[in-house]
């Protein structure tokens, strides 16, 4: 068995990796091998250095990704993108030990790991290494627009699509708003620049909310096969608890409908009770648990 970082894969191995990943139904964000390559070469997995696959000769047996960019702000590493077949589950122990080894190199205080709900067979290996269950990621679907429709926008509120001129506002509000969120990610400058390289339709789904020209919140969404996904709603700490959440949610939903969304969904963390209850109040209902998350403290 050999473990390779993504940057060391040959062109043929890269194509085999893509086929392997989509065989799990895990290609929610990849429409092509080229899109996968762009993602794994991006900042999330340190330009391909911390996304690993394990091979037995020419046959791929599993994958694991390590996200280290949260260490500076949140003192944590996230282990994710795990794909291992049940009949190959013993391979997962090798990959997980590799993930922990790579994580410890950046001196985090905790390591989080997430597995898809259809990979419960990996749980014993995670618990054996003293990871404790902390929360679940739950998919909610918008079933009723009645309450959101009645939400009134304030006169001094405006929304602007992300641009080169306001990208610093988006980053600041996003990162401050998600700093203490259970599973909120910190955006880098490189990720912001990648957003700006997307087409205009994507820009219309990534907006900043201003109150009298002061940035107070952001929302980010995407449209995938007529399904609108609300990926992020964040409010600057100074303005939290003042009613901006429902305004951002209404704007995000309206933008997705305008772009042709026939369904609207989002993912919320079960331990984030405030957000969970908020979405249920405004017309969302539980559809399914999508992943389970565990945490290990580093002494």
Q: What is the pLDDT along the chain (299 residues), one digit of tens a residue?
A: 899 999 999 999 999 999 999 888 754 567 789 989 998 998 899 999 999 999 999 999 999 999 998 888 889 999 999 999 999 989 999 999 999 999 999 999 999 999 999 899 999 999 999 999 999 999 999 999 999 989 988 889 999 999 999 999 999 999 998 877 766 677 888 888 888 876 555 657 999 999 998 999 999 999 888 999 999 999 999 999 999 999 999 999 999 999 999 999 999 999 888 899 999 999 999 999 999 999 999 87
CB 194 within 8 A of CB 42: yes
Cα–Cα distance measured from residue 150 to residue 139, given in angstroms and rounded to the nearest whole number:
24
Cβ atoms within 10 A of the Cβ of 36, count?
Answer: 21
Final residue of a structural domain among 62, 95, 129: 129
CB 130 within 8 A of CB 97: no
Say if 113 falls within a structural domain.
yes
Which residue segment(s) compose the domain that 258 sits in? 141-290
Looking at the fold, whether 124 and 168 belong to one and the same domain comes out as no
State how far the alpha carbon of 274 is from the alpha carbons of 218, 268, 277, 285, in Å. Answer: 18, 10, 5, 15
Cα–Cα distance measured from residue 214 to residue 148, given in angstroms and rounded to the nearest whole number:
24
Cα–Cα distance measured from residue 41 to residue 56, given in angstroms and rounded to the nearest whole number:
24
Say if 99 falls within a structural domain.
yes
Say if 27 falls within a structural domain.
yes
State how far the alpha carbon of 293 is from the alpha carbons of 5, 119, 128, in Å. Answer: 24, 12, 15
Say if 135 falls within a structural domain.
no
Say if 253 falls within a structural domain.
yes
The distance from CA 180 to its chain's CA centroid, rounded to whole angstroms, is 15
Say if 275 falls within a structural domain.
yes
Looking at the fold, whether 101 and 148 belong to one and the same domain comes out as no
State how far the alpha carbon of 217 is from the alpha carbons of 153, 206, 243, 260, 284, in Å. Answer: 14, 11, 11, 24, 21
Looking at the fold, whether 148 and 284 belong to one and the same domain comes out as yes
- Domains: count for the chain: 2
């Amino acid at each position: 068995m050999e473990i390779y970082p993504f940057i060391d894969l040959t062109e043929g191995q890269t194509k085999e990796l893509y086929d392997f990943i989509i065989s799990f139904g895990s290609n929610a964000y990849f429409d092509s091998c080229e899109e996968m390559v762009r993602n794994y070469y991006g900042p999330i997995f340190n330009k391909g250095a911390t996304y690993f696959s394990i091979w037995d000769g020419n046959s791929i047996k599993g994958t694991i990704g390590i996200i280290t960019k949260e260490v500076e702000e949140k003192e944590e590493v996230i282990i994710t993108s795990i794909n291992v077949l049940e009949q190959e589950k013993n391979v997962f122990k090798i990959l997980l030990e590799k993930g922990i080894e790579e994580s410890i190199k950046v001196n985090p205080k905790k390591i989080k790991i997430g597995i898809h709900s259809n990979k419960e067979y990996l749980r014993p290996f995670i618990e054996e290494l003293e990871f404790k269950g902390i929360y679940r990621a739950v998919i909610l679907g918008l079933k009723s627009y009645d309450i959101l429709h009645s939400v009134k926008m304030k006169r001094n509120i405006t929304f602007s699509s992300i641009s080169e001129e306001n990208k610093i506002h988006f980053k600041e509000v996003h990162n401050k708003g998600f700093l203490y969120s259970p599973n909120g990610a910190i955006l880098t400058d490189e990720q912001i620049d990648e957003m700006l390289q997307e087409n205009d339709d994507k820009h219309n789904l990534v907006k900043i909310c201003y109150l009298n020209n002061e940035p107070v919140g952001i929302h980010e969404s995407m449209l995938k096969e007529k399904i609108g996904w609300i990926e992020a709603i964040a409010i600057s700490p100074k303005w939290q608890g003042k009613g901006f959440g429902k305004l951002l949610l209404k704007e995000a939903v309206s933008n997705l409908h305008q772009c042709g969304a026939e369904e609207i969904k989002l993912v919320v963390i079960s331990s984030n009770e405030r957000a969970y209850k908020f979405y249920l109040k405004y017309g969302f209902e539980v559809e399914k648990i999508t992943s389970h998350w565990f945490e290990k403290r580093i002494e």
